[in-house]
A and B are shown apart, each in its own frame.
Chain A
Amino acid sequence: MKSLGSIRRDFAPWNDPKAKPYIQFDKVTKKFGDFTAVNNLSLTIFEREFFALLGASGCGKSTLLRMLAGFEEPSAGRILLDGQDLRGIPPYKRPVNMMFQSYALFPHMTVEKNIAFGLKQEGMPGPDIERRVAEMLKLVKLEQFAKRKPHQLSGGQRQRVALARSVAKRPKVLLLDEPLGALDKKLREETQFELMDLQQELGLTFVVVTHDQEEAMTMADRIAIMDKGEVMQVATPAEIYEAPTSRFVAHFVGNVNMFEGKVAERTASTTRITGATGAQIVVDNGGEATAGSDIVFAIRPEKIKVSSKKPADAVNALEGEVYDVAYLGDMTVYHIKLDDGQVVRASAMNASRVTEDPLTWNDRAWVSFRPDAGVVLTR
């Protein structure tokens, strides 16, 4: 069976027409004065899903999260949680909890008291609170720090306290606003996996806001790419990367080569494209493109093969000159300037330690790719 990208876990309620949506944004608009932060947005999130809102700053992703938490009310539209309309319900009565970007730990309380705060508001009996706090401290491996105040902790420890505090109440949904933004790179990578394990262990629905595509790709079941208050695409990380539906998404996630062109010929199984500068490209999936329409052909650098001679069996092969070579250790990135002037980025894994046919600056070179290596974009 062919499939896009790699398989992670057998969890795909979004493909099941009978699955009940858990969180629903229904034509939600949010305006701040004249500025429209979220524009007529509809989105469905399922129970136990790890959902990421990905976008540049100012795209409305944080506003979406804050509306879910109850700090902002939508100007129009509805937000439903487990079938219940959230309109008018204040933050302190919503069954969702949030982990703040700044962590927002109460500076005058110990770690223990911070975690117990939400449970106390619930009116949970003392012994139960103690038990739950101990459980949470164990979960985030901070047992010996219970009596410390936030300023006596390192950045990573603070992050874990914030996490423990926000899951202590067992919310229906946990909202995470740039949860790893303040950590250094190494710690961030470790913590990504910890968060995923935690989500599996607790069986909660996670909605995470991030501007870091790697973070979203690593952790999320599905990603919503946002731009200017609108959702551009909602899909699994593999689909987002391998089958973007627009130039924006293709550009936003990872590196991509774009060939402007026109559809010269369209049949059921193949699409022939004439590039704006003359290149001929044959693709076996043309998407919605019709003959004669202006399109963009997008292809990821690692799908392009670079060689010094024209590969005999290649359907698509374009000739050019090596413009730049960057050796990164695990892979090498080539910039090939095609004879029509376009520069193509291609990357090759350095699977062996020695290269038989090394290419260097100004060498003649061929780039080739399979008919299923890229996508045709109409928007």
Chain B
Amino acid sequence: MTSTWSRFNITSIVLGFAFLYLPIVLLIVFSFNESKLVTVWGGFSTKWYVSLFHNQGLMDATWVTARVGVISATAATVLGTLAAITLTRYTRFKGRVLFSGMVFAPLVMPEVITGLSLLLLFVAVGLDRGFFTVTLAHITFTMCFVAVVVQSRLVSFDRSLEEAAMDLGAPPVKTFFQITLPVILPAIISGWMLAFTLSLDDLVIASFTSGPGATTLPMKIYSQVRLGVTPEINAACTILIAVVAVGVIIASIANKRREIQRQLDEQAAQRG
């Protein structure tokens, strides 16, 4: 095997990365633009970040998004974990196929349909649209992602751990909270983070199910862009990207370090 950096290889890599990241780089660069015109560079400045924090509308939307995200991700994690446990532990009950199909359907369901059907439901029940309905909708569509993540962990979970706990005198509920939960916790946390991220950047479903006073950040950004892109929006998006990137980087570093530590420990243990 030869690993030469042929002209073709380099070109395809550059083009690939450019395709993926050039728009984002442009967005970040222009968030530091002095000029009010989005596409004309007028020198470096951070003034849009300052004005961003004085934009009450955007700040309100951020606050709504954060609250919706935390509440819906938490509820979706609880429900998704329960669904995952049911699916892995009770392999034979009536309607299991239907149940698993229904749990995982939102993964492939077009968002427009999810959003529209939820809207129809809320109207039919007479529920006033607002903060509560967006949160409810987000719980519904993020739950299946949590279920997938937790289920894949539970499949490899050694049941004899639970049996050992019960054998040593712990009743089932205690066993769940003292043994099962701590062992699958990393998967539950990833599930929560996934649900939070999905809630954070959802525009379609939120647009259908939200009402006055509960505008989320993506909705706010989208509506402002329709009146013309302002550098303020660029700044808001840059902050969002930074938050997500920092989160991902921290998570992967922590993961990597744990993995390395584990390998070192195991090698040390083998040596005695």
Contact = CB atoms under 8 A, between A and B. Distances in A.
Interface of A: 69-71, 90-93, 96-98, 100-102, 104, 106-108, 117-118, 121-122, 149, 151-154, 157, 165-166, 169
A100 B163 contact: yes
B158 to A, nearest CB: 6
Nearest to B163: A71
Contacts of B265: 149, 151-152
Interface stretch (B56-64, B113-121, B165-173, B227-235): B165-173
A56 B239 CA distance: 64
A169 B168 contact: yes
Nearest to B181: A108
B164 A100 contact: yes
A97 B266 contact: no
Nearest to A123: B169
Interface string B151-168: 000000010110111111
23 contacts: A69-B167, A92-B168, A92-B171, A93-B169, A98-B167, A100-B164, A102-B158, A102-B160, A104-B161, A107-B183, A108-B182, A118-B168, A121-B168, A121-B169, A121-B174, A149-B265, A152-B265, A152-B266, A152-B269, A157-B269, A165-B168, A166-B168, A169-B169
Given A96-B167, A152-B265, A154-B269, 16 more contacts: A69-B167, A91-B167, A92-B169, A97-B167, A98-B167, A102-B160, A104-B158, A104-B163, A106-B165, A106-B179, A107-B161, A117-B168, A151-B265, A151-B266, A152-B269, A166-B167
A94 to B, nearest CB: 8
B262 interface: yes
For B160, B169, B268, B269, the residue with the greatest tally of chain A CB atoms inside 10 Å of its CB is: B169
A190 to B, nearest CB: 14
B168 A151 contact: no
Contact of A91 (B166, B182, B268, B272): B166
- The secondary structure that dominates the B interface is helix
B11 interface: no
Contacts of A107: 161, 183
Contacts, number: 72
Contacts of B183: 106-108
Nearest to B182: A108
A152 B168 contact: no
Nearest to A152: B265
A-B CB proximity, top 5 nearest: A118-B168, A121-B169, A104-B164, A104-B160, A152-B265
Contacts of B164: 98, 100, 104, 106, 165
Contacts of A117: 165, 168, 170
B234 to A, nearest CB: 44
Contacts of B160: 100-102, 104
B270 interface: yes
A70 B167 CA distance: 8
Contacts of B268: 152
B169 A153 contact: no
Nearest to B271: A154
Contacts of B161: 104, 106-107
Interface in B165-202: 165-171, 174, 179, 182-183
A121 to B, nearest CB: 3
B166 A92 contact: yes
B272 A154 contact: yes
For B163, B167, B265, B268, the residue with the greatest tally of chain A CB atoms inside 10 Å of its CB is: B167
Contacts of A153: 269
Contacts of B169: 92-93, 118, 121-122, 169
Contacts of B270: 154
Given A100-B160, A108-B183, A92 B167 contact: yes
Contact of B170 (A102, A121, A152): A121
A122 B179 CA distance: 17
A102 B167 CA distance: 14
Nearest to B264: A152
A97 B163 CA distance: 11
For A97, A104, A152, the residue with the greatest tally of chain B CB atoms inside 10 Å of its CB is: A104
